Amino acid sequence: GQSLEQPSEVTAVEGAIVQINCTYQTSGFYGLSWYQQHDGGAPTFLSYNALDGLEETGRFSSFLSRSDSYGYLLLQELQMKDSASYFCALAGAAGNKLTFGGGTRVLVKP
């Protein structure tokens, strides 16, 4: 099977940088995705890493290291609206599906 581990909660102030780590166990996968979910809302896609290295999308960047079974999401110039839960998810090699981690709740303080 597949499993992913993320920290449960991170707190930071506006303007700061936050890194959300994701470690995983899998026998094979296509890549690592990241999603954002505000309280009571639907998850929305943020980023995807098929290859090792850094992908940058505006204030958000995502990184993957297959050799270390590790990835992270970097949130820069934090804004209050970034307060949300962030999920990493493995795009599985077996079947067209995603396996999600437990999520990291990010709280941004003024």
Partner 1 sequence: DGGITQSPKYLFRKEGQNVTLSCEQNLNHDAMYWYRQDPGQGLRLIYYSQIVNDFQKGDIAEGYSVSREKKESFPLTVTSAQKNPTAFYLCASSDRGPSYEQYFGPGTRLTVT
Q: Does 31 bind partner 1 (CB under 8 A)?
A: yes
φ/ψ (deg, to 5) at 82: -80, -5
Q: Does 96 bind partner 1 (CB under 8 A)?
A: yes
What would the DSSP string read from start to end of 22-40?
EEEE-S-EEEEEEEEE-TT
Query: Nearer Cβ to partner 1, position 16 or 30?
Result: 30
Please give the Cα distance from 69 to 28 (Å, whole number). 11
Number of residues lying near partner 1 (CB under 8 A): 25
Q: Name residues contacting partner 1, limited to 37-76 (CB under 8 A).
A: 41-45, 48, 50
CB of 15 to partner 1, least distance (A): 27
In this structure, the strands spanning 84-92 and 29-37 are antiparallel
Positions that interact with partner 1 (CB under 8 A): 8, 30-31, 33, 41-45, 48, 50, 87, 89, 91-92, 95-103, 105
